[in-house]
Amino acid sequence: MVIESGRRLRELKRNPMSLAEWKTTPVGMWGWVFQRVSALALLVLIAVHVAFPYKLLTQALLLGAAIFHGVLGIRVILVDLGVSARWQRALFGGLTARGVVVFLAVWGRIP
């Protein structure tokens, strides 16, 4: 990747196999990746749910993926409304924890 800064161009190099470099990836980027992965998981799980509507594992995975995807969508809305980027980690962790609570509350009511 080449970034232009003034008149000089510099190339950014990242070794994808280095664990140390993955640890420096911002939380907002991981949120973006996880939302895309959960969207794909939702598509697959909806198809599986249509084929096997009474499987508890399918229902649990579908509910979990839907809540997780929704929670990450709320994070994006809050960021768009002006929540500072320095709150990304707290938003990601706090909203994910609330999503787990909602999952447990909903799943506990399903007979």
Largest CA distance in the chain: 65
- How much is the pTM? 0.75
What's the pLDDT band for 51 if we cut at 50, 70, 90? Answer: very high
Angle at 39 between CA 94 and CA 63, to 5 degrees: 65
Nearest-angstrom CA–CA distance, 72 and 3: 29
Nearest-angstrom CA–CA distance, 95 and 47: 27
What's the pLDDT band for 24 if we cut at 50, 70, 90? Answer: confident
Angle at 67 between CA 93 and CA 85, to 5 degrees: 35
**Residue, of 84 and 73, whose pLDDT is higher:** 73
